[in-house]
Structures are given as C-alpha cells and as structure tokens.
Amino acid sequence: MQRFFVEHLFTGSAWVEGACVEVDSAGDIVSVTANGSSDGIRLPGCVVPGVPNVHCHAHQRAMAGLAERSGPASAAASRPGTESTAAARDSFWTWREVMYRHVGRMSPDDLEAVAAQLYVEMLEAGYTAVGEFQYLHHDPSGKPYASPAEMSLRCLAAAEAAGIGLTSLPVLYTSGGFGGQAASAGQRRFLCTVDTFLTLVEALEERCSANHTVGIAPHSLRAVLPEDLAAVLGGFRGEGPIHIHIAEQTREVEDCLRWSGQRPVAWLLDHAPVDGRWCLIHATHMDDAEVAALARRGAVAGLCPTTEANLGDGLFRAADFLAAGGRLGIGSDSNSSVSPVEELRWLEYGQRLDTRRRNVLAGGAGRSTGRNLLERVLAGGAQASGRAIGRLAAGCRADFVVLDTDHPLLVGRTQDAWIDSWLFSGNRSLIREVWVGGARRVADGRHLDAEAVAARFGGTMQALLRRS
Ligand code: NGQ
Ligand code: ZN
C-alpha cells in the first residue's frame, strides 16, 4: 500500500484540501480522506485526475507536420468554374491520400517505436490513458501477419513501455465507401472480415489487465456495411466500449443522404443500439434533432478539436450539445498536437469565434470554463474508455497529474483558477509530475524513459523518411 499526501486535490468533481490518498499494490485508489495524516509521499502543488484521450491513430504521429504543403492541382479543381486555389485543391480527402502513402511504409517495428514516442509525449502533456483506434491490420500489400492482432499488440507493447493506460479499439473496415464500394490500394492494410476481426479482438482480450481494456471500432458508415455492423455488434462478447467515426465532413453527410436518405448520426441512432457504451467520434455535422437525440442516448461525443481544425472538418455544436445534456470526451486523433490543454482551448475558442461571446462552455453564470470542461472530459473520457479512470476516488485507478503551482502562471491562484490558468494561459507545460496506476512516469515535466524512447523513434523516422 502506498500513501500520498496531497495539499490540494481535485477529485474530478470537488476540491479536497490536505488529502490523504491510499493506493493498493494493483494501482487502485483505496481511499481519499480530507485532513488525513500528512505522512507518506508528499505531492507538491495541486493534483488533478489524468485526462483520458479517447481517440488516437498512433501511426499518424509519424506524419505530423508533413501534410501542410499545398498539393498539386487536381482534376476536380481545374474543372471550369472551380477556383484553382490551394484551398480548393487541398481537403480532408487529399490529406487522406497523403496519410495512406505514409501508412504504406510502416512496419510493425516502426509502429511500435512511433507509438512509444507518442505515448511518452501524451503522458508529459497530462493524458494518462489513450483509446487507440487501430486499423493497420496487415502488411502494406494487404497480406496478413502471422497474428491478426500483430499491429494492435505493437501498440499495446508501446503503451506498456511508456506506462500509459490503454483502451485497444481494433477497427473493423470492410469497404472503401458507402454501400460497399471497393477499397482502394491505400486501404488494403485495413480490410478484414468480421470473423477475422473477432479473432483479432479475442487475441487482444487475452492481454487485458488493470491498465488495458479492449473495445471495438467499426471505422465509419463509409467503411462498414449495415450487415457487417450488425454482425460485429452481435459477435463481440466483451464489455468494452464501441467507437465509430461519424459525420466529420459535409461530403460524408451528402454521400450518406444519397445512400440511405438519412444523415449519418440519424442513420446510426435509428439502426444501432447506441447508448452509454458508445463513443461517436467527431459528430461534427448534426442538425437540431440529431443533437438532441444523441444527447438523450447518453453516448459520448469524442471531439478532436485540433485535428478537426487541421483537417478543415467544421465546428462541433458544443454549446447546443452541452445544453441538451450531451457527454464529451477529447482525443488527439491525428496527433499533430498532443495536448489536452490545446484540445480544450480550441474547443472553447471555436465557440467564442463562432458566437462572438466568452466563456461559452462554462456551464452557467459564475462558473469556471476550465473546471467545467475538465469535469466533462474526465467523466466522458472515462465512460468512453470503459475503465475506472477520470476520478480520484476509491475504486478508481491512481492516474493523476501534479501541476506546478510555483510556476509564474499558477502562482497565487487557488482551486478553479489553477485549472483555468492551466488550460487558458501560457504556452509551456505546467505539469510537474504524472502518475499512472500509482507509478510515477513523469518527473520535472519529463518522462523517465524519454531519452531512450526518443532515440529509437529518431532512428525510425530517419529510415521512414528516407524511404519516402
Ligand atoms: C482515420 N481520420 O481513420 O484515420 C480518419 C481518416 C477516414 C480522421 N477522420 C480516414 N480524422 O476517415 O476515412
Ligand atoms: Zn479518427
């Protein structure tokens, strides 16, 4: 048993001053008591729960910053009447082609090295758990590896090496577009039948632990036929969460309307048993009825504000969704940014720019925007991760972040003002330590294995980029 003394503890829903936190040898919190004895490991400053990252494609960390150059004029852009500007040429869809080319070079070793570096960066940024939405199942030619779970197991190995909590979300991908369109060459690595997919899930489930849970992720309505969706939901015997990309791009909404007569979120709510076990990634383009219905179902909207901005997706209707009682989580998705601070800032700032108001997501008069956002993504993130995280209370994992209250940006503050200042001021990390399952992973702002992991990653990137 470990005992911590915390001067200022935010449990995820309340502040406790002078808290004593007891953690068992498995890394679970046994008790949190106020004004307890001050012996044990003294955590300097203020402690908040680690943030769950609900949506990540680790492999895309290897191309962060490498799709920011305007592409060649495409056939579509040079059609008469179409403006031939960079903005007209470059889109989510052209980015996806660049991403597929990067994907085409990555071996299992490469993925493991990239994911380990990424997870180290996540921990340093205050994420203590990640939902890995993994779809590179086969080799670049589409040939299966000896184990169908090869690439997912590499992500697990990276998570274990870095010491981050993991929800494996292996992806079912059966077609190239709505209505069972053939997959392109760039999508060959992703394809699998429902049966093979369920074998993959079982192989991962054998590796479940206190720090690792397994859910499933039908990729999107574009990539999974209704009969495959029904089959995988029927065949999955586990209790983990169900994640799906939805309604990210307006073209996707138009294609879905043409295919089914319904918008994507409306179609999914009508054809799948969406409830609190589900996490709908992006859900950017919803009409009023979809916003209300999704909130009522209790599913989490998995928002990835920096990626949604980077890819030109559009703005999630956060104020409306929260007003309807909707639940939120945040994800780093393409990993061009790896920071809960930046995700939450973009989430609020998008709303401010759109409405020309301030403190849009504070949740009521006199409330703290940072506290409200943090509370919501801790609770929604835990729900979408399918793990006992996001709260510092008995029965939850001892996953927490120690903020540097001596830093000039935090000094002199108390309680909610620490959270607001952490999330809305400055540009450097204000994190001193990060603990996961009662084990310290970050000290003085640096992951304890940062150097070794970065050295391996550096070698991998040199080789990967030489191959391009
Ligand atoms: C993905 N990422 O699966 O990595 C997707 C792009 C797709 C985001 N949507 C591919 N951010 O949706 O077809
Ligand atoms: Zn995604």
Does 333 qualify as catalytic in the annotation?
A: yes
Q: Out of 3.40.50.11540, 3.30.43.10, 3.20.20.140, 3.30.1240.10, which CATH number does the structure's domain 51-66+91-385 have?
A: 3.20.20.140
Residue 282 a catalytic site member: yes
Q: Does residue 369 have its Cβ closer than 6 Å to ligand 1?
A: no
Expressed in angstroms and rounded, the spacing between residue 331 Cα and the centre of ligand 1 is 13
Per the model's pLDDT, the better-predicted residue between 178 and 36 turns out to be: 178
The tokens for 274 are: 């969406």
- How many angstroms does the Cα of residue 52 sit away from the middle of ligand 2? 16
Worst-scoring range by mean pLDDT, 6-10, 40-44, 299-303, 396-400? 40-44
Average pLDDT over residues 36-56: 92
Q: Say yes or no to pLDDT of 154 above 60.
A: yes
Evaluate whether 226 touches 175 at the Cβ level (below 8 Å): no
Centre of ligand 1 to C-alpha 296, Å, is 26
Mind spelling out the 3-state secondary structure of 190-218? HCCCHHHHHHHHHHHHCCCECCEEECEEE
Q: Tell me the C-alpha distance between 232 and 201, whole Å.
A: 11
- Position 44 scores a pLDDT of 81
- Which is catalytic among the residues 90, 110, 333, 404? 333
- For residue 327, what are the CA distances in angstroms to 275, 282, 289, 311? 11, 13, 16, 23
Pocket mutation for ligand 1, best pick of 55, 106, 133, 248 (most atoms within 8 Å of C-beta):
248
pLDDT band for position 171 (cuts 50, 70, 90): very high
Tell how far the Cα of 445 is from the centroid of ligand 1, in angstroms. 31
Q: Which of 31-35, 117-121, 438-442 has the lowest mean pLDDT?
A: 31-35
The residues placing their C-beta within 5 Å of ligand 2, an ion, are 333
Instruction: Determine whether the shortest distance from the Cβ of 332 to ligand 1 is under 6 A.
Output: no
Residue 192 alpha carbon to ligand 1 centre in Å: 17
- C-alpha torsion angle, residues 78, 264, 338, 378 (rounded to 10): 160
What is the predicted pLDDT for the residue at 394? 98
350 near 126, Cβ under 8 Å? no
Query: Quick check: CB of 96 below 6 Å from ligand 1?
Result: yes
The whole-number pLDDT of residue 84 equals 52
In this prediction, residue 414 carries a pLDDT of: 97
Round to whole Å and give the CA distance between 392 and 394: 7
Grade residue 79 by pLDDT with cuts at 50, 70 and 90. very low
Unique residue bearing structure tokens 């997959």: 183
Nearest CA to ligand 1 atom 7: 96
User: What average pLDDT does the structure give for the chain?
Assistant: 96
pLDDT tens figures, 7-26 = 999 999 999 999 999 999 99
Residue type, 100: Y
Query: How many CA atoms does the CB half-sphere of 437 hold within 13 Å?
Result: 15
Check residue 59 and give its pLDDT: 98
Task: Please say whether the dihedral angle defined by the alpha carbons of residues 375, 379, 384 and 386, taken in this order, is positive or negative.
Answer: positive
pLDDT tens string 123-140: 999 999 999 999 999 999
User: Is residue 74 over pLDDT 80?
Assistant: no
For the Cβ of 102 lying below 6 angstroms from any atom of ligand 1, the answer is: no
Distance from residue 450's CA to the centre of ligand 2 (Å): 26
**Hey, where are the domains in the chain?**
2-50+391-451, 51-66+91-385
Counting atoms of ligand 1 from 1, which one is nearest the CA of 57? 4
Exactly one of 282, 285, 399, 447 is catalytic; name it: 282
**Residue 92: nearest ligand to its CA?**
1
Instruction: Tell me, using a 6 A CB cutoff, whether residue 55 lines ligand 1.
Output: no
For 219-246, what is the mean pLDDT?
98
Is pTM beyond 0.85 here? yes
Q: Is 308 in the pocket of ligand 1 (CB under 6 A)?
A: no
pLDDT tens per residue, range 413-436: 999 999 999 999 999 999 999 999
What is the pairing mode between strands 431-436 and 400-403?
antiparallel
Distance 434 CA to ligand 2 centre (A): 26
- Identify which of 136, 174, 165 has the alpha carbon closest to the alpha carbon of residue 152: 136
Q: Among candidates 321, 218, 228, 347, which has minimal Cα distance to 274? A: 218
- Rg (C-alpha) for the chain, rounded Å, is 22
* pLDDT grade for 85, boundaries at 50, 70 and 90: low
Question: pLDDT grade, residue 88 (50/70/90)?
Answer: low
pLDDT value, residue 468: 73
> Residue 170: beta bridge partners?
134
Rounded-to-10 torsion of CA 435, 438, 441, 446: 40
Six token digits for residue 12: 């995820």
Instruction: Choose one of 91, 96, 184, 330 to mutate for the ligand 1 pocket test, by most ligand atoms within 8 angstroms of C-beta.
Output: 96
Give pLDDT, residue 89: 85
pLDDT value of position 35: 77
Q: Which protein residue's CA is at the shortest distance from atom 13 of ligand 1?
A: 96
Nearest CA to ligand 1 atom 10: 96
| pLDDT at 38 > cutoff 90 | no
Helix, strand, coil content of the chain in percent (nearest 5):
40, 20, 40
Q: Which residue has the higher pLDDT, 195 or 76?
A: 195
Choice from 95, 221, 245 to test ligand 1 binding pocket (greatest atom count within 8 A of CB): 245
Return the CATH superfamily for domain 2-50+391-451.
Urease, subunit C, domain 1 (2.30.40.10)
pLDDT digits (tens, 9 = 90+) for 324-377: 999 999 999 999 999 999 999 999 999 999 999 999 999 999 999 999 999 999
Nearest atom in ligand 1 to 334's CA:
11
Phi, psi of 149 (to 5 degrees): -95, 10
Asked whether 277 lines ligand 1 (CB < 6 A), one says: no
